[in-house]
Structure 1
């Protein structure tokens, strides 16, 4: 059967060129699969014919460029013939190997990364979540863009990756993509998994990450104080939509559930524990860790309010949780109504549960870690640091108060 093949040249605006200049790309489509590569040629936008896929006119410049593009087209046909003569199927992958002069057994970063992501995608809902697949897909997109920026190519041999490659990727993420430090480290951590895969398969002799620091900067996590939490609970809110969002937020403040876990929570996941009280028995979506949370009175009151809500009855969910975007937008109104001068997001509820509600009231950190569904207690210890910082701030205010009292006493003694 004859292979479906189409060859197209098109112009693309890039950040490196002015608005009036196009970078010319070659696109080869084989059985619906695209292989694209830069021709390393540029032309003014007004001189490029989109319909013809070549430069307009009959000037020396136009003849030279169009001849070069014709040669590239013939190069594709020549590779198609060579691949067929070698007894191989002409495909996007076999053309890519020929184009870059790679041998069949040579492993490349993008091909390994793509295979890894394809496996992740096929396991969504089984071993991985869609969010996990998305973050690796985004990292791959960044990697390809970096290769174009640094090497003017869309792939690179695994054996060519060294320490300089990693540091240059870090620089590109921070400068060109304008990523902050912690986001940059997240992307590099995803890349590191691919590199570790190559090391385990002996496709790479030396770990390029040796000596590279992967430390994230500490992020100050916002939490609600007991006073702010009480203000939320006691505030009489007339608007049904705002009151519903407030109640769902309070529910998370006293259970520690992340948004997706609160959204997915079923009535059947409320069970009677060994103590005869009601508990939440569920699996945390992010880590797939079991989560066991005893229900406090305020939580049970909220559950009672929404037990006959149409959304809960129709979807067999515990609470009528809206989309994350809507919920966070409404939380701004909740903060204004309750007089809370903080930028409220739903995840603050989880932080508040870990600190103000549990650790601050003497619940052992081991128990808090289990209720949060953390795989490591080191993650939970971050919240203990938050309390230490809060304690330091409170003691600072206390010192100022005592200093003011001492100053008054000294003034009286002097008089």
Structure 2
């Protein structure tokens, strides 16, 4: 097949086949999702199943971006936000770069296209907010279960999907003679070994003989992510926490409030979170630096305010 007859679908298939041996499982999964969206875009927007690479241009990319942001999934997934859409665009760009290297494309359709990421902050709970939730006892069993699952994640750093797949056999005796969790991240398939802090261990003991846990042969109660986040909003209201309480906020809280703030080295935190590299973990370290900066600015203003008052008093006397 000549270069100008190469199609987009054949490029995607070729790229993903080549990358099977080079990329992590989680990254391959993400490319699969991008492929799904491109296929849907071709079908719903262009009313076709494929296009020649030579047909790709700036308008194609802009239309694809708009499609990603406007598409309403029929399953439980949320519509693509700005940054999620940009990640799909970036993966698409890497495929196009491969086509250019193979000389299947003469002109780069991305030449004038600029990816626009929205700045986000990794919000987490303060120790005061976390303690407020910990100390709250709920008489409604489901609320108590959701609270316990959330606190468990705050003290282990495990994401929702990883907590839900835990089995009793995942709790082992570590080299230090204490309980550890050994599992792998569902998102990336990266192995994770986490020494259990006391509060997380107590929650495991609480549900050891729970009927639902025994029936499911799981370590903790299983609740859908949608219901869990819905209950967390109720818990936030009842505990007077103003932040948008989601299960993923617990993972951020572990990274910042529980570990980094208490002097755990960033390399160790990276391992505990199951990150493939330290660069991802450094985002949390920047959050800590920002908090330190903000706190010092408040202190600076207080000190300067006191100095100003003293000067004014002395001048007036």
Q: TM-score, normalised by structure 2?
A: 0.83
1:171-198 deviation line (CA, Å, top 9, x unaligned): 6656899965313312212323442454
Confirm whether residue 157 of structure 1 aligns to residue 52 of structure 2: yes
Among 215, 228, 252, the residue aligned to 1:314:
215
Shift of 1:272: 1.2
Choose 1 or 2 for highest CA Rg: 1
* Partner Cα distance (2:83, 2:30) in 1: 18
Among 40, 43, 51, the residue aligned to 1:141:
40
* Partner Cα distance (1:345, 1:239) in 2: 19
Confirm whether residue 218 of structure 1 aligns to residue 113 of structure 2: no
Indicate if the aligned counterparts of 1:114 and 1:140 stay in contact, CA closer than 8 A: no
Q: What is the 5 A alignment of 1:184-203?
A: 184-196=85-97, 198-199=99-100, 202-203=103-104
The total of aligned residue pairs comes to 304
Shift of 1:112: 4.5
1:383 corresponds in structure 2 to 284
- CA distance 1:312–1:118, change in 2 (3 Å): farther
Which structure has more helix as a fraction of its residues?
Answer: 2
2:75 corresponds in structure 1 to none
Shift of 1:204: 3.0
Indicate if the aligned counterparts of 1:136 and 1:190 stay in contact, CA closer than 8 A: no
| SS of the residue 2:193 aligns to | strand
Indicate if the aligned counterparts of 2:213 and 2:221 stay in contact, CA closer than 8 A: yes
Confirm whether residue 106 of structure 1 aligns to residue 5 of structure 2: yes
1:334 corresponds in structure 2 to 235
Indicate if the aligned counterparts of 1:280 and 1:294 stay in contact, CA closer than 8 A: yes
* Partner Cα distance (2:183, 2:120) in 1: 28
* Partner Cα distance (1:324, 1:132) in 2: 23
Indicate if the aligned counterparts of 2:228 and 2:247 stay in contact, CA closer than 8 A: yes
* Partner Cα distance (2:220, 2:34) in 1: 28
Among 298, 305, 313, the residue aligned to 1:404:
305
* Partner Cα distance (1:242, 1:132) in 2: 37
Indicate if the aligned counterparts of 1:312 and 1:320 stay in contact, CA closer than 8 A: yes
Instruction: Indicate the structure whose relative CO is greater, using CA pairs within 8 Å and at least 6 residues apart.
Output: 2
Shift of 1:274: 1.2
* Partner Cα distance (1:180, 1:281) in 2: 33
2:131 corresponds in structure 1 to 230
Q: TM-score, normalised by structure 1?
A: 0.65
- CA distance 1:202–1:375, change in 2 (3 Å): same
- CA distance 1:363–1:262, change in 2 (3 Å): same
Unaligned segments of structure 1, at least 5 residues: 1-101, 121-125
* Partner Cα distance (1:254, 1:363) in 2: 13
Shift of 1:146: 4.6
1:263 corresponds in structure 2 to 164
* Partner Cα distance (2:205, 2:53) in 1: 58
* Stretch moving more, 210-219 or 252-261: 210-219
Q: What is the 5 A alignment of 1:7-156?
A: 106-110=5-9, 112-113=11-12, 133-147=32-46, 155-156=50-51
User: What's the C-alpha RMSD, in Å, of the aligned pairs?
Assistant: 3.3
Indicate if the aligned counterparts of 1:117 and 1:137 stay in contact, CA closer than 8 A: no
| SS of the residue 1:318 aligns to | coil
